[in-house]
Structure 1
Amino acid sequence: MSIVDQAAATGSHTYTTRDVAVAGGPLRVGLWEPTTPAATSPDGAPLPAVVLVHGITASHRAWPAVVSALPGRRVLAPDLRGRGRSNGLPGPYGMAAHADDVAAVIRALAAGPAVVVGHSMGGFVSLVLTHRHPDLVARLVLVDGGLPIPLPPGVPDGATPEELVRALLGPAIERLTQTFPSAEAYREFWRAHPAFAEWNPVVEQYVDYDLAEYPRAGSSAGGGPADGPVAGPVLRPATSSDAVAADSADSARGDALPAALAWAAETSLPITFLRAPRGLLDQPGGMYPAGTVAEWERRLPRLAASEVVGVNHYTIIMAEPGISAVAAAVG
């Protein structure tokens, strides 16, 4: 186990990875097994496994802090298609494709329906999963995601997918085309990000895992240039920019999310929504204005929303009080 893999282990869980067969190849999944006795319900029945679904440019390594707050629970978290160590999987992308991939993970690694928690785009995936595969979801938790995101000021209704991506994600998408000379240089890039003013080991292991090696342009199959001295690989973020563009367009204008929202208006399954009051750049107001969330509570009778004070879109799953709020919602 590498240093970065050791960092994903917690005092409450051991950590390994598995590959699950999905359309096009293997999907990488983080698996945390509890080191304490299995958590049980008041009647003594084992509690279901927890499946954690990450955001649009993230990976399963966004979740160790939440895992540590779930003693006794078995936890699964995939690298979605086009991200992390699943970045070699081909398209098509989109919420339905990701939902079917997560369904394959639950069937392969969970003993029955799971509590599904989706952060950011992972919330869209989780909602679509629950619509397409209702037998696999025991409880649904949406963490600052899953509901339609209001367009930022100045973005027209007819914006292109590229304009939507830039407006909603900003630096998060721009970094995907950048290269970095070392892991430390990539850490320094993230340390300058306003959302991570409080750097901690959870953030560092997430950032380290996100940096992947790619063959240098013009290199031979062995990794060096066709002519001349051997050069090392290029270091750049693991997330596929093509996957991000396709998923952004699908979440904004595809058919899967509207169908899932229509289902959510009729379902008897309780849905929890946790709102971060600050956004991707730690700006006030967040991705979801409070009024927008209140309107969705009126539209979806089983949706119960609450605000987690003092967190931004990232720290709601990486720092307190977000970690405890997510763990409490898991139940």
Structure 2
Amino acid sequence: MVPVSGGELAVLRWPGADPGAPVVLALHGITANGLTWARVAHHLAGRVTLVAPDLRGRGRSGKLPGPYGIAAHADDMAAVVGALDLGRVVLTGHSMGAFTAALTAVRHPDLLSGLLLVDGGVAFPAPTHLAPDELLTAVLGPAMRRLSMTFPDRGAYRAFWQQHPAFAHNWSPWVDAYIQRDLVGEEPEWRSSCRIEAVRTDGTDQLGEEVSGAVHRLPRPAVLLWAERGLMNEPQGLYDEQWLASAGLDPELVRTRLVPGTNHYSIVVGDDGARAVARQLLAAAGLAETES
């Protein structure tokens, strides 16, 4: 537990085999938690220390009060680096975590030794006629609807996620641990730890110019890994080559790489995706890209 404004932030750590190993600070998505990164940690295999917070309003940090918003998360990350004396870190984020990583880089450039964005961080096409809640539901689907649901037991929550098209062929002990970490309460009314006001604030904030434009103001070069398929495993992902080409990215500042065969979730929780992310993190840390 790390002190931040308003309370304490829960932080997971997979220590490196070498006490002097580089540090990766990894940020999860809008309705996720730090165990998003467990399979990536498996493929990193102790070559770096991986630190993954439950962001404010999620997981074991679910009781932290606002203010929420991407800037608040960015400042929380600076507090984590300072409290744990991490020094300069390779910063990475998935989905909303990628937008948070980009803004953290802009607000706290001295923290970084490298930057990796995973299926996020660059504004993506979104309907302009929807209210913020409607847009979040349209984009996030079951992930958003579950915030107001209750579940009679842990098995019911597992079954809910096993029916999700993005997880149907990617289920594993890592995924199970990740989704179970989200539950709070007790039988027969388990519910998601995500505070809906945090999700609403962060989701709306992500659409604003300060956050969506951070990728154009990065203090150092970054890599964006993007998934071939979408949140529901649909053929159209959040990004494609045409959209990225039209996004106005500086090719000297942001290099983009497709991770074939992955969807928005499996790019971090699936085996192939996690391996690709781990390889890129090792490269960002100055270590050889090796098979894991």
Tell me whether 1:245 sits opposite 2:200 in the alignment.
yes
In structure 2, list runs of 5 or more residues that go unmatched. 284-292
How far off its partner does 1:192 sit? 0.5
Map residues 169-180 of structure 1 onto 2, 5 A cutoff: 169-180=140-151
How far off its partner does 1:110 sit? 4.2
Counterpart of 1:141 in structure 2 is: 116
Counterpart of 1:211 in structure 2 is: 183
Amino acid corresponding to residue 196 of structure 2 in structure 1: S
How far off its partner does 1:197 sit? 1.4
Counterpart of 2:130 in structure 1 is: 159
Tell me whether 1:66 sits opposite 2:40 in the alignment.
yes
User: Does the 8 Å contact 2:99/2:211 carry over to 1?
Assistant: no
Counterpart of 2:3 in structure 1 is: 21
Tell me whether 1:99 sits opposite 2:50 in the alignment.
no
How far off its partner does 1:187 sit? 0.3
Amino acid corresponding to residue 169 of structure 1 in structure 2: L
How far off its partner does 1:233 sit? 6.4
Pick which of 79-88 and 314-323 moved more.
314-323
Amino acid corresponding to residue 276 of structure 2 in structure 1: A
Tell me whether 1:236 sits opposite 2:219 in the alignment.
no
Tell me whether 1:200 sits opposite 2:172 in the alignment.
yes
Tell me whether 1:33 sits opposite 2:33 in the alignment.
no
| Change in 2 beyond 3 A, CA 1:167/1:80 | same
Give the number of the structure whose alpha-carbon radius of gyration is greater: 1
Deviation readout 1:21-74 (Å, 9 max, x if unpaired): 11110000001113x345xxxxxxx44201110000000011111011112211
1:292 pairs with one of 243, 265, 270? 243
**Identical positions, percent:** 43
Distance (whole Å) between structure 1 residues aligned to residue 200 and residue 148 of structure 2: 13
Deviation readout 1:91-138 (Å, 9 max, x if unpaired): 111110000001111112243110011000000000000000000011
Query: Matched residue of 1:304: which SS?
Result: strand
Amino acid corresponding to residue 124 of structure 1 in structure 2: F
Pick which of 112-121 and 62-71 moved more.
62-71
> Normalized against structure 1, the TM-score is what?
0.81
Amino acid corresponding to residue 274 of structure 1 in structure 2: L
| Change in 2 beyond 3 A, CA 1:263/1:84 | same
Counterpart of 2:289 in structure 1 is: none
Map residues 261-276 of structure 1 onto 2, 5 A cutoff: 261-264=215-218, 267=219, 269-276=220-227
Counterpart of 2:22 in structure 1 is: 48
Tell me whether 1:325 sits opposite 2:279 in the alignment.
no
| Change in 2 beyond 3 A, CA 1:324/1:297 | farther
How many residues in Structure 1 have an aligned counterpart in Structure 2?
280
Counterpart of 1:113 in structure 2 is: 88
How far off its partner does 1:289 sit? 2.4
User: Does the 8 Å contact 2:151/2:188 carry over to 1?
Assistant: no
Counterpart of 1:228 in structure 2 is: none
Distance (whole Å) between structure 2 residues aligned to residue 134 and residue 101 of structure 1: 14
User: Does the 8 Å contact 1:297/1:305 carry over to 2?
Assistant: no
User: Does the 8 Å contact 1:123/1:144 carry over to 2?
Assistant: yes
Counterpart of 1:279 in structure 2 is: 230
In structure 1, list runs of 5 or more residues that go unmatched. 1-18, 39-45, 215-231
C-alpha RMSD over aligned residues: 1.6
Deviation readout 1:126-160 (Å, 9 max, x if unpaired): 00000000000110100001111211xxx2x2432
> Normalized against structure 2, the TM-score is what?
0.91
Pick which of 248-257 and 87-96 moved more.
248-257
Counterpart of 1:185 in structure 2 is: 156
Amino acid corresponding to residue 6 of structure 2 in structure 1: G
Deviation readout 1:153-178 (Å, 9 max, x if unpaired): xx2x2432112211211111001100
| Change in 2 beyond 3 A, CA 1:91/1:298 | closer
Distance (whole Å) between structure 2 residues aligned to residue 288 and residue 275 of structure 1: 7
